[in-house]
Structure 1
């Protein structure tokens, strides 16, 4: 059932250090209030759009996408202090009515950061006129131009501004009123009623909700102090005038605005006039510029020609086995429509190598691809190491490939510049990420605002266990000391901390992420400019994935720089080394590992790892690959067993002879996700694509799917290998036990 009132002016924690509610809390609150729609209008940004849109749709709440923008007094390019004081801007609420309006909103907020930033991301009247199509406009809070002028007795100025907005947003402009018990707001309601009558402009009421419930006002007040760097006791600090900026019920809003003609009804009218969807599920890959002299202008055919040539160069021949594997991979890539992705990736890796920029051998599941190896994207032989393409790209589960590339940390920027030159400066940017207030952080932040000494806060924060991603609720269960503190002197601190925990604290640049659009970025995403001048997307990595944009991980790795410098020093001594073709059977190297002399060796330099290496006494590259996979929480428990089996101190047994070929290199222990897939394939006749789905179900503990696959596995084992159901069940349960901790061999 449709609600008669819709909240059209609200903020989440993406209005950084001001909004004190997560997107999920906001949507849940609206659902609890029995309302069917809600707008989210962050301060000057669109950071929250994708998580909000998805969360609202999932809850059956109609999402209204908007922004409370800052409009410069004068031009957005004027950046100097005003003689009358103040920020030199006014607030205005904009709501996207359709997809064109959504695109215009993205362009407006981008201009605010890239051109108009002066204390706040500001737009101006020129931009509003240019990008007004498809946008509904509300006049804003007391900081809006019209209320501000009327409260200063500039009635003519207010009328002129109202008529100006009404002309720009024809039949889509509303005079906004609020009532949080602030005297100026009460006066503004009367002023707006008069102006509405004189100019025949409709009115609408909002509540500018910054937190979900009335009782959260104090936590929000602490949040404001965090944002402004003030103590709560500071008499000169910014504070909200009343504790009324929360999601009020329909009845509460009706009681406050029943004497304002159309104010309630127009919220519904506006919500009903909004209709559009953000397209998700399609991929938007840039077109790879195939060289003019190439024999094939079709991306799939051009990719195949490069791969065939690459395989011949890598292996010295083109055997039926290699041809079959390559054709299988290329068919999957063609079916998924990802030829362009591989061509783009191969191109910038080639650029880096041609310009002597050190590039890593491969990271993640991409090393399982013969296509990647043949193109020079990776330098790890997937055939020799028995790596699986389906672990990288599953034909039964279409998703964008994810190839992470390591570059020398000092020259990573050159590769990004090359991509900008290839696809256009306006089509490539880095990606935003948001730092969140985790358990210890939020306690420290809130404690500081409440005036506790550093020593007190530090002591309290250290009562929280160091478990990864622990919440305060979990910490209170695990730490009796913290529980006692939460009931005594620190009750207020921990109560506020629990409200604010998990909220966004700041925006920064993702360490590796770069996004490439097939045209202007601002047709797909709004852009942000940090205080350091770095430009990023306003949507984070997950949001860009949801939109189907091409995102790449360019990791700056200092070890590559160190290796490169070492090679140059060796060359100065008259010896040349090809780092991509060093022997993997040099026993002098393994003796260094056996002695634990691995400080400075990537992944092998921690004290714990060095101790295990001394016990393991590795003799082959496979031993090092396995140790890399085992040395992490969970599988670490199997290291001693692994070492005993290697040295013949513990018998190796297999539940079925077919498992020996798969598990031989890890002495009968399931170490890799690829082994889980191979067992499902060899024992139960699963396709490798099905085996990958089983692996994911086990890793994520999707019980319903696991139960279905268990039956299929036992039946398949009987059908393919005549394995008795009881043994089939034992094999399934064995791989289920290890799959939870299994590591990606390609990455290891």
Structure 2
């Protein structure tokens, strides 16, 4: 008989448990356990993962909740919640100690009771983190769930009173009368007789001591109460005890210190059966009694073991009631499923689809009719008609809200989804397959993802909530786990590092897993050279940081996932209040699918908001109403723009890699855009699909087809397998299988344990159809290499539409489009680069104006030439970009426009003094006072007088101050604000250099340097010879380290020099000497080798990167020739070093490892989901990069600018999706 642990906390007991549910089950299996419980503190968020793992490892699952129970009041003097410690560094002690009881579920009513109780305590803690539930709350939950069978409440729940219960406190406090009263209260109120848990962590004193366990067992025996043995598990092995100490310190906001460490944590691990048997003997001091205690524990575990299928309805699918989808009446709780709902839903779905077919004029198209019938049959066989109707209804409601909407993902391959108006992509026009989205063979639930405007996302959520009610709708949760930065902050505080040390440590590291903290310090040159290596106690810190890796840290509302169910949702998943009171479940996206809940992803996409803003501006300024969803997809000007690579701001094709790819590919059609989007993915890059595709497309070589039967499938991609759909068609052609089966084979290609089965099927059936073995071999190699890494064509087609639309708008209405991009910030670049793009397009950037600026960026006519009937447009800066200004202040400002003077503005706009000062500093009153003899310094003095006058009037009870009707002001004689001061102010308050480019202050220096070395601007890059060395200078605007085929960390740096972006790639060997500058400086000069490919493709391989400030200082003190000589020497040395490294690629010596920055041939690699072997530091925000625009100090450019200093760092973090 194996021992069943009945009290186990996982990491979902946030900052208490130190085990992931999956790890717990694996450890139990390795110990030979057959039953196991998960009883997290005050919630059940880890339950689904636990159940799933138990099914996999054939362990009987037991679910419970370790619930904080309100005290009865009888032990008021010793109530643990009144004995609170205080943190040593101020603040409030967060870890209130509550009385607790473990409630174990029996059957489906027990599961529903856990769900209900988790909802109750979670909702209460939304407003009060220290809320508890009373025995009466538990009773009320049971009455609500099983009103007819309430007399047998013990059939739903088992109440286990642990050593942390009020009952145990009474027994150990020598108050048997109170203990008996507590047992009676549970019996009378809840209808259950509690079971007494005994625990020994072999400590000398306290509730987990052996002596305490003996007292509790004796009391139970004397009063006829059942008793069980538990170990209050919270970590896996004995050596992990320190993790519990760290979590206790983090949770309690107290330092790790012997006086704060509980002795009980030393034994709270998953002990094996023999160890628990020894503890039973130690407690009972009698072999027979020990055996009985173990037997009673096993019997209770057996009675609480759950059947996932019958008790949790595992695999059952819940759909909204049909009446809800067909009626516009107010939702009533009485809506229920009817026996004929499935047939009625299918009939309604058919009616809607065939009606749409007729409206589109496709009802006589045999292919369209056949496709619709095929898809309707699949939906009918799966019983999903109500789901499609529900999503269609939601899309209709979204459109009625005025929000743009489109589908994304594989659902775009469904003709039915198109006919229902969910998708704007006709799959018949692009060869898309329904089977990639849904088929009778698919085990997973359908998952329709829709894109809406980002600024309307919560409106859409509430529209869904209003339609279906909180009984049926909830957002999916997102579990934030410990990564290196959060772990350093929490552990650092517990180890009493200073706040400054903690901040320096946390921000120095990349956004990587906590487990990689030591390897990052060893591998990354920018970290090895930093001052953090001098800090004391780093080893202890890193040990604790690694221990927290991947443990849940907190739960948040998922940005897009929404559950749609029937009215029984609240009995199956806990639901808590979220943002704007939108209900949120405790389970994540994978959990809800395992529970059979239909999930709809409603993604707020900033590009959709930018397009809406653009269309509104076009209508307002140009007086033209553009139907962007109906513009032709063959516009020559649009594709010329894309081919030129001037795609900043455009959806999906603005990144450095995409601009290079579109330059090489030169798209001329929507199909080309679909291919482009599909190729720019980790899988195609790893498999080097791009090279043969470009060679075939541009005629550099003949396409290679492995068999004539495959020409029709592969001709659209010049013989290269790019799309999932192509893999499916190849399987179908060569084996004769259905497309549904083909998709299952495609999925299996990506898993090593199933790939061999697919190979056997493929060879047997292909050879059986008469294909030669050599052909089968070659095709299999292609499928194995490319099939699992291709891209879903339907997804690419859905992305290609807004890609084309954004490029079309930029081509035909550039000012309106740029205003939309600046307003909604959808891409990867800072707004300052987009401002440069506007200037390069001939669009004026109009300064902030207190009478003209609005919340958003607005297009204005700046020149109207009637003789030529032409207009020139400008973009007015937005009030929302001013640091510190509130939405209410912006609303007040715009409502009061126009203003006649500063005093008029101060009286009516009702803004704070800092906001008024910032508006003056940014020149928002310059136009108003353009004819007055005053400047911004004078206006600041006038504002100070207005503030004093206002204070006096308020003190005397007067409600108004005198208002000047005209903008006049006497000059104080103070000097005008210089251009440098203006730029500094703009960078500090706007994060943008509006008046002048930051690099312009170096133009004289750069002009002199250009006479010595070849300085190239972005505008002239394409004129450079391939293979030549080019020097560039600019402001760093973006840096990425994505996964690359080599597995190395490559830093892709984008600079802005005022004429456009400059993209460079710095490989690992170069990072050894330049990583600190690459990652931590913002004004730089670089050198690199130019490489040209395709019609407009260009890239630069970085050779060096230097701080512009440092080079200027050298020139200032030693002359310009010293700078040029220094640069030429550094580049020459780097080229020589590259040749040496190339000759010694096979060596793993320490010398080579040093040259590669600790990232040489012996480096660690991780396996990316795409199959890429990547650096652990890839696809992350690099080291030293602050998260948002920040000013670090004022020591920047005083040597170059006589009367001002610029900040030393300028960073950008776009909140947009960039298509993700």
Partner SS, residue 123 of structure 1: coil
Cα deviation, residue 149, structure 1 = 3.2
**Where does residue 368 of structure 2 map in the other structure?**
322
Cα deviation, residue 102, structure 1 = 1.6
**Where does residue 647 of structure 1 map in the other structure?**
698
Task: Tell me if 1:161 matches 2:170.
Answer: no
**Where does residue 676 of structure 1 map in the other structure?**
727
**Where does residue 1048 of structure 2 map in the other structure?**
none
Task: Tell me if 1:710 matches 2:765.
Answer: no
**Where does residue 69 of structure 1 map in the other structure?**
67
Cα deviation, residue 203, structure 1 = 2.4
Which structure carries more relative contact order (alpha carbon 8 Å, separation 6+)?
A: 1
When residues 473 and 696 of structure 1 are mapped into structure 2, their CA distance, relative to the original with a 3 A threshold, is: farther
Cα deviation, residue 28, structure 1 = 2.8
Aligned length: 728
98-107 vs 375-384, which moves further: 98-107
Separation of aligned partners in 1, 2:465 and 2:183: 43
Q: In the alignment, which of 266, 283, 298 is matched to residue 243 of structure 1? A: 266
Task: Tell me if 1:177 matches 2:194.
Answer: no
When residues 292 and 17 of structure 1 are mapped into structure 2, their CA distance, relative to the original with a 3 A threshold, is: closer
TM score, norm. by length of structure 1: 0.89
Partner SS, residue 65 of structure 2: strand
**Where does residue 397 of structure 2 map in the other structure?**
351
Q: In the alignment, which of 122, 143, 163 is matched to residue 141 of structure 1? A: 163
When residues 648 and 528 of structure 1 are mapped into structure 2, their CA distance, relative to the original with a 3 A threshold, is: same
Within 5 Å, give how 1:109-508 maps onto structure 2.
109-115=118-124, 118-132=128-142, 133=153, 134-142=156-164, 144-168=165-189, 172-180=193-201, 181-185=203-207, 186=209, 188-189=212-213, 191-193=215-217, 195-197=219-221, 199-233=223-257, 239=262, 241-248=264-271, 249-259=275-285, 262-277=292-307, 278-289=312-323, 290-291=325-326, 298-360=344-406, 362-438=407-483, 442=487, 445-446=490-491, 449-451=494-496, 472=516, 479=523, 491-508=539-556
Contact kept? 2:403, 2:452, Cα under 8 Å = yes
Task: Tell me if 1:615 matches 2:658.
Answer: no
Cα deviation, residue 518, structure 1 = 1.1
Partner SS, residue 122 of structure 1: coil
160-169 vs 347-356, which moves further: 160-169
Contact kept? 1:257, 1:264, Cα under 8 Å = no
Contact kept? 1:71, 1:122, Cα under 8 Å = yes
Separation of aligned partners in 2, 1:315 and 1:230: 71
For residues 321-362 of structure 1, the C-alpha deviation after alignment (integer angstroms, 9 at most, x for no partner) is 1111100000011001111110000011011112311112x2
Q: In the alignment, which of 776, 783, 786 is matched to residue 728 of structure 1? A: 776
112-121 vs 299-308, which moves further: 112-121
Cα deviation, residue 251, structure 1 = 2.7
Partner SS, residue 513 of structure 1: strand
577-586 vs 310-319, which moves further: 310-319
When residues 291 and 27 of structure 1 are mapped into structure 2, their CA distance, relative to the original with a 3 A threshold, is: closer
Cα deviation, residue 421, structure 1 = 2.5
Task: Tell me if 1:580 matches 2:614.
Answer: no
Separation of aligned partners in 1, 2:218 and 2:440: 64
Separation of aligned partners in 2, 1:83 and 1:145: 11
Contact kept? 2:5, 2:230, Cα under 8 Å = yes
**Where does residue 560 of structure 1 map in the other structure?**
608
When residues 569 and 188 of structure 1 are mapped into structure 2, their CA distance, relative to the original with a 3 A threshold, is: same
Cα deviation, residue 252, structure 1 = 3.0
Cα deviation, residue 230, structure 1 = 4.0
Cα deviation, residue 454, structure 1 = 8.3
When residues 601 and 238 of structure 1 are mapped into structure 2, their CA distance, relative to the original with a 3 A threshold, is: farther
Cα deviation, residue 456, structure 1 = 8.1
Cα deviation, residue 707, structure 1 = 2.1
Separation of aligned partners in 2, 1:651 and 1:456: 61
Separation of aligned partners in 1, 2:689 and 2:499: 42
**Where does residue 685 of structure 1 map in the other structure?**
736
When residues 7 and 236 of structure 1 are mapped into structure 2, their CA distance, relative to the original with a 3 A threshold, is: same
Cα deviation, residue 575, structure 1 = 1.3
For residues 654-711 of structure 1, the C-alpha deviation after alignment (integer angstroms, 9 at most, x for no partner) is 1222322222222221111111112222344232112111211113342232222331
For residues 474-499 of structure 1, the C-alpha deviation after alignment (integer angstroms, 9 at most, x for no partner) is 9599959999x9xx985544444444
Separation of aligned partners in 2, 1:148 and 1:547: 39
Separation of aligned partners in 1, 2:253 and 2:52: 33
Contact kept? 2:159, 2:192, Cα under 8 Å = no
When residues 167 and 182 of structure 1 are mapped into structure 2, their CA distance, relative to the original with a 3 A threshold, is: farther
206-215 vs 264-273, which moves further: 264-273
Within 5 Å, give how 1:532-571 maps onto structure 2.
535-571=583-619
Contact kept? 2:213, 2:283, Cα under 8 Å = no
When residues 245 and 398 of structure 1 are mapped into structure 2, their CA distance, relative to the original with a 3 A threshold, is: closer
160-169 vs 577-586, which moves further: 160-169
Greater C-alpha Rg: 2
Contact kept? 1:208, 1:245, Cα under 8 Å = yes
Q: In the alignment, which of 106, 111, 117 is matched to residue 115 of structure 2? A: 106
Partner SS, residue 255 of structure 1: helix
Q: In the alignment, which of 623, 627, 632 is matched to residue 676 of structure 2? A: 627
**Where does residue 598 of structure 1 map in the other structure?**
647
Cα deviation, residue 374, structure 1 = 0.4
**Where does residue 638 of structure 1 map in the other structure?**
689
Cα deviation, residue 240, structure 1 = 5.6
Contact kept? 1:593, 1:618, Cα under 8 Å = yes
Separation of aligned partners in 1, 2:499 and 2:708: 62
Q: What is the RMSD of the two structures over their aligned residues, measured on CA atoms? A: 3.2
Cα deviation, residue 437, structure 1 = 2.4
Cα deviation, residue 392, structure 1 = 0.7
Contact kept? 2:514, 2:545, Cα under 8 Å = no
Partner SS, residue 430 of structure 2: coil
TM score, norm. by length of structure 2: 0.56
When residues 537 and 122 of structure 1 are mapped into structure 2, their CA distance, relative to the original with a 3 A threshold, is: same
Partner SS, residue 510 of structure 1: strand
Partner SS, residue 634 of structure 1: helix
**Where does residue 78 of structure 1 map in the other structure?**
none
Separation of aligned partners in 1, 2:80 and 2:360: 67
When residues 209 and 83 of structure 1 are mapped into structure 2, their CA distance, relative to the original with a 3 A threshold, is: closer
Gaps of 5+ in 2: 74-78, 85-95, 143-152, 329-340, 797-1220
When residues 179 and 318 of structure 1 are mapped into structure 2, their CA distance, relative to the original with a 3 A threshold, is: same
Separation of aligned partners in 2, 1:404 and 1:245: 44
Q: In the alignment, which of 30, 53, 56 is matched to residue 55 of structure 1? A: 53
For residues 11-31 of structure 1, the C-alpha deviation after alignment (integer angstroms, 9 at most, x for no partner) is 111111110112122223333
Separation of aligned partners in 2, 1:88 and 1:370: 58
Separation of aligned partners in 1, 2:569 and 2:131: 19
Gaps of 5+ in 1: 76-80
Partner SS, residue 19 of structure 1: coil
Cα deviation, residue 640, structure 1 = 3.8
Contact kept? 2:60, 2:306, Cα under 8 Å = no
119-128 vs 365-374, which moves further: 119-128
